[in-house]
Amino acid sequence: MNITSGGFVLAEILEQVDSLPSPPGVAVEVLRLTADDSCCIDDLAQVIARDPVLAAKILKLSNSSLFRRGEDVTTLDRAMMVLGLKTVKLMALSFSLASSLPQASNSGSGFDLQAYWRASLTLAVAARALGVLTRSRNSDEAFLCGLLARIGQLALSEAMPERYRAVIEQSPDNLPDADLERRHLDFDHHDVGAALLESWGMPAMISQAIRLMGTSELPTELDQRSRQLGVVLELARHATTVLCESRKGPALHSLHELCREHHGLDEAEVDSFLIGLQGGIAETAQLLNIDALESIPHDRILEKARMQMVNISLGTALDLQQSSNRARELEQERDAFEEKAMTDKLTGIRNRAFFDETLRDVVVARRNGEYSVELGLLVVDIDHFKKFN
């Protein structure tokens, strides 16, 4: 892919991301095992055991509300058996990559890293929870995609800090959205993030899903599994907008519509789901050693979103009423103009224009068989007509 904007080429942007470290050794090894179809859980356990911090996170994850199944898990081997090979691969990647990303910005771009992590964690937890809720086979892939979906924004803030600051300053939220980025840069953070992950050797399904998050609709040629992942991420994106951004009302409306259309979920179920995400987000932040994030109760956020929906509905109704009133005014103005055009202003009786139009209509009606009575024309000339004035 060769995306250019003002002399910047995507490859050059990636080369300039000096402060984003390469994946740590454990992540590289996990990536290698991910590409190896013969990899077994014992192979993965040996790699993870070499990193005590990662091993502790996997153990803690198996006891978290996201994955816990019954009694406490106390050993890494048991944790990996509980989680399963695919989940351990994807979560080990998530934890390793997240630990290598910055929590404080030095780029001078004005990039809000706390907002970045809040949005990333919300998207990751919402995506996985939606995957489970909709019985998707891709819930763990959805978590990893959500966690890394905005990594392109980190890259942009490091590679082109001044230009990206200008984009950030145009955003109503702390983080610019993809549409705003495309208007200023001709590409968005999904393009950059997908290319960065590809350069790290990330599975194609993950990088492709992140790239497609910047498109208006999924390509028709996508396989069923990738399409299912894309739908889950789209729902999670709306959930994240509700919980983390200013346009809460429209996003909540879209989420209600999509969940009802695709999964038969009513509004109460969707709202309950959003409120229930709060614990999982806090738990995941602890697992990833992310500093305490600003935490507003989700039920209060939903109240604000509902108020926005009501205000938008009232505004729409008012606009429709104003449009209807204006249409009536225009119709009345037109009728008044026609009346004026067909009436002699001195006498108030119909003028020659009215006569010509009426005669034309009658002749046409008679030709079409719509007017069967005899048609005659009487011309009257009134002497000294000016005396009537």
For residue range 290-323, list pLDDT tens digits in order: 875 667 888 888 888 888 777 666 545 455 556 6
Q: Is 16 helix (H, G, I), strand (E, B) or coil?
A: coil
Chosen domain end from 245, 270, 298: 298
Helix, strand and coil in the chain, % to nearest 5: 65, 0, 30
| Per-residue pLDDT at 17 | 62
Mean pLDDT of 4-28: 64
368 in the same domain as 265: no
Confidence of residue 274 (pLDDT cuts 50, 70, 90): very high
321 in the same domain as 239: no
| Per-residue pLDDT at 21 | 59
Q: Is the pLDDT of residue 1 over 50?
A: no
For residue range 153-195, list pLDDT tens digits in order: 988 988 888 889 999 999 988 899 999 999 998 889 999 999 8
Mean pLDDT of 327-351: 67
92 in the same domain as 154: yes
323 in the same domain as 292: no
Place of tokens 């028709």: 220
Name 102's Cβ contacts closer than 8 Å, sequence gap at least 6.
19, 20, 113, 154
357 in the same domain as 254: no
- Pull the structure tokens for residue 54: 């990662």
Per the structure, how many domains does the chain have? 2
Mean pLDDT of 115-137: 92
Confidence of residue 325 (pLDDT cuts 50, 70, 90): low
- Domain of residue 203: give its range: 4-298
* Cα 35 to Cα 30, 38, 89, 175, 204, distances in angstroms: 9, 9, 11, 33, 10
Question: What are the beta bridge partners of residue 8?
Answer: 5
| Per-residue pLDDT at 45 | 87
281 in the same domain as 317: no
d(CA 99, CA 288): 7
Comparing 117 with 348, the larger pLDDT belongs to 117
Contact 151, 96 (CB under 8 A): no
| Per-residue pLDDT at 6 | 43
Chosen domain end from 272, 298, 324: 298
The answer to whether position 339 is within a domain reads yes
Contact 127, 142 (CB under 8 A): yes
The answer to whether position 307 is within a domain reads no
Q: Is the pLDDT of residue 388 over 60?
A: no
Chosen domain end from 263, 298, 333: 298
pTM given for the model? 0.74
Mean pLDDT of 206-219: 87
The answer to whether position 308 is within a domain reads no
Q: Which phi and psi (to 5°) does residue 350 adopt? A: -60, 145
